[in-house]
Amino acid sequence: MATPPTNSTTATLLVSCDDRPGLVAALSQLLFALGLNILDADQHTDSIAGKFFQRIRFDLSVRDNQALIDEKTLEGAIREVAERHSMEWTLRLDRDVPRMAIFVSKTDHCLYDLLLRHRSGELHCDIPLIISNHPDLEPIAEQFGVDYRVFPITKDTKADQETEEIELLEKYRIDLVVMARYMQILSERMIAAFPRRIINIHHSFLPAFQGGKPYHQAYGRGVKRIGATAHYATLDLDEGPIIEQDVVRVSHRDTPKSLVRKGRDVERTVLSRAVAWHLEGRVLVYDNKTVVFD
C-alpha cells in the first residue's frame, strides 16, 4: 500500500466491544450524520469470545461544504457512541505521521529492509532514531540519515540504560518501537511505556522453537519448514499477540548455516508486513490474539 500524503483527508477508526445487534448501524449512522463518506469498512465477530471488531476508513471532508470536519467534534461524536456501546476505539488521521524507532544489535537484514521500504514509500511513518546495544550498524544509519544511539547493555547497567532509552524515545516522540533482531529482553518498564506498540521479529514459527537459537533447534528436529513470527512484545518472552507469520520449505540437505540464510528472507518480509499493518491501523489485539484486517 502506498504511503498516504501528509495532506491526506482520510482517517481510520478501529473499534472493539462485546458483540450485540446494531453496532454496524450505530457507527455508519454516526459518520453519515456528520456528513462523512465511508471509503471502506470491514468487520469481524468472534462468536466464541462474543467480541465484535470493525475497521472503517472514511473521508474527513464534510459532504455539504467539503470543509474538513473539526477533529474535536469528530472525536466527541465517536466517544458518545463508543460509551453508549462500551466500545474501545482508536482514531488515526493519515495526515498525522507516526514516528518509529528501530532497535537492533549486530544483524542488519531486517534493519536494511525497513529503511529501504520506508525510503520507497511503503511504510507510512518517520524513522528518526535507531537504538542499539552495539556500534556495528551505525554506518547503515548514516547512509539513511537516521540518528544512531548506542546503549551497551550488561546485567549491571540494563536498568539505567533502559531509563535513558525511554527518555530518548520520549524526546523523539516515538509512537512505535520495532525490534529488528534486537537481541535483548526488554524490561517491564520498557514494555509498559509502549503497550501494544513494540513489535518484535522472532526467527521461528512460534510457538515452536522459542529462545535464542531456533534454527539450531529446527535443525536438530529435522523440520521440513522453518518460519518467522512478528508479534507484540509482552512480559512473557516470545508469547505476545502474533501479527504475522510465514514459512519456507527446507530439507535434510540444509545445515544450521543454510537455515539461517533462508530464514532471513522470511524474517524480513514478515516483519515489514507486520509493521505496515500496524501503521495502517489494521491490527486489533484481544485475549493475547490479534484481528488483522485485509
Averaged confidence pLDDT in the chain: 91
Whether 64 shows a pLDDT value over 80: the answer reads no
List strands edge to edge, sheet with 198-202.
Answer: 147-150, 126-132, 99-104, 176-179, 198-202, 225-232, 242-249
106, 88: one domain: no
Task: Please check whether residues 36 and 162 belong to one and the same domain.
Answer: no
CATH of the domain at 69: 3.30.70.260
User: 80 with 164, same domain?
Assistant: no
Q: How confident is the model at residue 260 (pLDDT cuts 50, 70, 90)?
A: confident
Same domain, 162 and 264: yes
Same-domain pairing of 145 and 243: yes
Work out the pLDDT band at 208, boundaries 50, 70, 90.
Answer: low
Rounded mean pLDDT, 202-213: 64
> Cα separation of 162 and 153, whole Å?
9
- The model's pLDDT over 177-200, given as tens digits with 9 standing for 90+, comes to 999 999 999 999 999 999 999 999
Which residues are within 8 A (CB) of 248 and not within 5 positions of it... i.e. 6 or more apart? 225, 226, 227, 262, 263, 265, 266
Q: Pick from 78, 93, 108: which residue ends a domain?
A: 93
Same domain, 123 and 257: yes
Q: Examine residue 21 and state whether it is found in any structural domain, yes or no.
A: yes
CATH code of the domain covering residue 239: 3.40.50.170
Given the residues 160, 238, 287, 294, select the one marked as catalytic: 238
Confirm if 128 and 147 have CB atoms less than 8 A apart. Answer: yes
Q: Tell me which residue range forms the domain holding 77.
A: 10-93
**Residue 4 predicted with pLDDT over 70:** no
- The verdict on 282 and 161 lying in the same domain is yes
What's the whole-number mean pLDDT along residues 11-38?
Answer: 96
pLDDT-derived band at 66 (thresholds 50, 70, 90) equals: confident
Is residue 39 included in any domain, yes or no? yes
Q: Give per-residue pLDDT as tens, 38-58.
A: 999 999 999 999 999 999 999
In single-letter form, the type of residue at position 167 comes to: E
Question: Is 176 found in the same domain as 64?
Answer: no
Is residue 265 a part of any domain in this protein?
yes
Residue 200 to residue 205: CA distance in whole angstroms: 13
Q: Average the pLDDT over 247-264 and give the result.
A: 85
Among 48, 75, 93, the domain boundary falls at 93
212 band by pLDDT with thresholds 50, 70 and 90: low
| pLDDT tens column, 143-157 | 999 999 999 999 999
Catalytic (active site) residue 238? yes
Do 49 and 153 fall within a single domain?
no
120 and 80: one domain?
no
Least confident of 12-26, 115-129, 258-272, 280-294: 258-272
Considering the domain architecture, whether residues 212 and 234 belong to the same structural domain is answered as: yes
Residues 78 and 116 in one domain: no
**2 within domain boundaries:** no
